Amino acid sequence: MPIQRLNHAVLYVRNVEKSVAFYTDVLGFRTVMQMGTAAAFLQASASTNDHDLGLFQLGDAASPSDAGRTTVGMYHLAWEVQTLGDLADVAAALTSAGALVGASDHGSTKSLYGKDPDGLEFEIVWLVPLDLLDATAIEASSSIGPLDLQAEIDRYGIDTASGIGVSSPAHA
């Protein structure tokens, strides 16, 4: 089956209202449907999906996820942004919310990592456009280094459109 990309994700959270506030206020999602405090469905600001994120409430007594520490489970989801300017805006919003936990340069991708109110990790990524992937970026794709976002803006431009859905020449 030729799967193209992730259509939506569903997360179990302690408090739907708190999670909705985080994803709308910090990441710019909008609520498309809410079922009281039991569930909510959100759409990313530039998405044409019916919804990109479903949130289902477990209640405040829910234990934190042990995925990756003592149990198997998902590490994170990754959402793409259109420009490095958008990535810089997300960096500022995550920093302001105390939710930025990392920033990495994967060569062909430039990534921020954040955690939501329940400690669930996510990635926000800008992909180097295929026509700008040079030997340096391709070689750097085999390792992970710290992200110098300003240097990447200086190199590629703040408004250069992402190589949406393309992260290496082999997948073009």
**Per-residue pLDDT for the chain (172 aa), expressed as one digit of tens each?**
677 778 899 999 999 999 999 999 999 999 999 999 999 999 999 999 999 999 999 999 999 999 888 999 888 999 999 999 999 999 999 999 999 999 999 988 999 999 999 999 999 999 999 888 877 766 666 778 999 999 999 999 999 999 876 655 554 4
Nearest to 53 by CA among 16, 89, 84, 83: 16
CA separation for the pair 8, 138 (Å, rounded): 29
pTM: predicted TM-score of the whole model, two decimal places:
0.90
Phi first, then psi: what are they for 91, rounded to 5°? Answer: -60, -45
Domains of the chain with CATH codes: 8-59 (3.10.180.10), 74-165 (3.10.180)
User: Which residues are CB-contacts of 29 (< 8 A; sequence separation ≥ 6)?
Assistant: 23, 42, 43, 44, 45, 52, 53
Q: Is 27 helix (H, G, I), strand (E, B) or coil?
A: coil
pLDDT of residue 105: 94
